Amino acid sequence: MSIDADRIRSDFPALGQKIYGKPLVYLDNAATTLKPRCVLDALQRYYSVETSNVHRGLYLLSEKATSAYENARVAVQRFLNAPHESQIVFVRGTTEAINLVAQSYGKTVLRERDEIILSTIEHHSNIVPWQILSDQTGASLKIIPVNDNGELILEEYAKLLNHRTKIVAVAHISNALGTIHPAKKLIEMAHSYGATVLLDGAQAVSHLPVDVTDLNCEFYAFSGHKLFGPTGIGVLYGKADLLDMMPPYQGGGEMIRSVTFEKTTYHRVPYKFEAGTPGIAGAIGLGAAIQYVNQIGFDNIIAHEGDLLSYATAKLAAFPGVRIIGTAREKAAVLSFVIEGVHPHDIGTILDKEGVAIRAGHHCAMPTMQRFGVPATARASMAFYNTRQEIDILLDSLHKVREIFH
C-alpha cells in the first residue's frame, strides 16, 4: 500500500488553512508535527465528557480516564516493543526525560573523573543536562566528532570509549541535519565497556520503527508533539532494573505509598517518577496518535518520505548559491541549507509570505552550527502528509528570495 497523500491530508485540519492568502505548506515537522483529527477528537472527548483525575477516584469518570491513560501507556510499550508497560514513564517531553535520567540515574552512578560521551550534533536538550550533571559530579564530557557529511566518525568514538565511560547519550536522528546514526552499533560499542546508553528519539519516532528490545539501549526518550500528538507529553523508556534502582526525580502526590513526617515510602515504577496529576489528556492524545501512525505503517512512511527527500535534495542541490548542510548517506526527511549572501532568517521571513513554513536559526544545536561554520541554517523538514507539489512551491519561493537579494 502506498500513501494516498490527498486522503491523509484531509485528516489534518491545519492543512486546510491559508497563510497570507496562500495554501499552507508546512515544512517544520522537526520542530513539531501537525495533529490529525483523531488526536483532536480524543482530546475533545476527554475534556468534554471524561474529565477527571486518574488512579484516585472510585467513580465511573475517573475509572474511564484511568483506563484511557493506562491504555496509552500500553500503546507506547507496544510501539517501542518494550518488555513491559511499567518501563514506560510519562513525562512532559524528551527534555524532561533526559533531565530525569541525568539527575536520578546519573547522580547515583557518576563519580569524579567518570566520563559522559555525547556527539557534536546534539540538540541542546541532550547537552545542557549533562553539563549540569558534570558540574555536580566532577565527571567530564567527551564529544564524538562528525565528518563533513554530518556522520559520526566511529573510529573516533572508539577512541573515546574506555573504562571511565559511564554514560553515552546521543540522538537517534539529528534534528538539525537529519542524520540517522547507527544506533545499534553505537550501543554495542558502549556496552563493550560497560557504559549505559540513552537515545534521544525525539526525531526518530515519526520517521522509522523503534524497537528498544532489539536496540538494547538502557534509556529511550521522545516527545508526543513530534509524533503527531499533543504538546506537554513525552516518554522515557528504561530498563527495569535501572528504573527500580533510581531515586525519584520529583516528590509529591501519586508517587508515594505512604507519607508521615518521619518517612515516605515510594510507589512502584513507573508511578515513582510521575509525581502529581499527570498529563492525562496528553497521554490519551499520544495513544491516539500512535494508533494513527500504526494504521499508515512505517513501510509506507519510509517510502513516501524517502521519495520526498530524494526529490527535494536534487532540486535544492541544483539551486544557485545553495549549500546543503548535512549530506549523510542515511538521512531522515530533513534538509538544512544556506543560500550565499542571504541570512536564513530572511529566507524564513520571505517564505512565510508565500505560505511556506520552515525553520530558520540554530535549531537548538549551536555546536552543530559551529562545526559547519554557519551561524544558522534554513531547515525544511517533511512528514508523510507532505507532497512533491509542496516541494515545488518551496523551490518557487526560494527563487523569490534570490530575486530580492540578487
Q: Which of 334, 333, 335 is nearest to 301 (CA)?
A: 333
Residue 379 grid cell: 531547515
Q: What is the pLDDT of residue 256?
A: 87
Residues whose CB is less than 8 angstroms from the CB of residue 370 and which lie 6 or more positions away in sequence, other chains included: none
Residue pair 377/337 in contact (Cβ under 8 Å)? The answer is yes
Burial 39-70 (b: 16+ CB within 10 A, else e): bbebbebbeeebebbbbeeeeeebebbbebbe
159 vs 163: CA distance, rounded Å: 12
Active-site residue, selected from the candidate residues 324, 364, 374, 395 = 364
The DSSP call for residue 101 is: I
Closest C-alpha to 75, from 296, 220, 285, 383? 285
For 400, the grid coordinates are: 523569490
H-run or E-run covering 377 = strand 377-381
Residue 284 pLDDT > 90, yes or no? yes
- Rounded to whole angstroms, how far apart are CA atoms 298 and 186? 23
The pLDDT tens digits of the residues spanning 61-95 come to 999 999 999 999 999 999 999 999 999 999 999 99
Domains of the chain: residue spans and CATH: 5-30+297-405 (3.90.1150.10), 41-294 (3.40.640.10)
- Name the pTM for this structure: 0.97
pLDDT digits (tens, 9 = 90+) for 100-151: 999 999 999 999 999 999 999 999 999 999 999 999 999 999 999 999 999 9
Q: What percent of the chain has pLDDT over 70?
A: 100
Using pLDDT thresholds of 50, 70 and 90, give the confidence band for residue 58.
confident
Extended beta strands in 24-139, E state: 25-26, 88-91, 115-119
**Confidence tier at 1 by pLDDT (50, 70, 90):** low
* Gap between the Cα atoms of 221 and 93, Å rounded: 8
pLDDT at 206 over 60: yes
What is the residue-wise DSSP string for 299-366? HHHHHHHHHHHHHHHHHHHTSTTEEEE---SSB-SEEEEEETTB-HHHHHHHHHHTTEE-EEE-TT-H
Confidence (pLDDT) at 335? 98
Spatial separation of the C-alpha atoms in residues 122 and 173, rounded to whole Å: 9
- Told to judge if 364 belongs to the known catalytic residues of this protein, a careful annotator would answer yes
Across residues 224-239, what is the average pLDDT?
Answer: 98
C-alpha 249/C-alpha 236 separation (Å) is 13
Q: What is the mean pLDDT of residues 272-298?
A: 96
Task: Check whether 391 has a pLDDT greater than 70.
Answer: yes
What is the tens place of the pLDDT at every residue in 322-375? 999 999 999 999 999 999 999 999 999 999 999 999 999 999 999 999 999 999
Residue 5: what pLDDT? 85
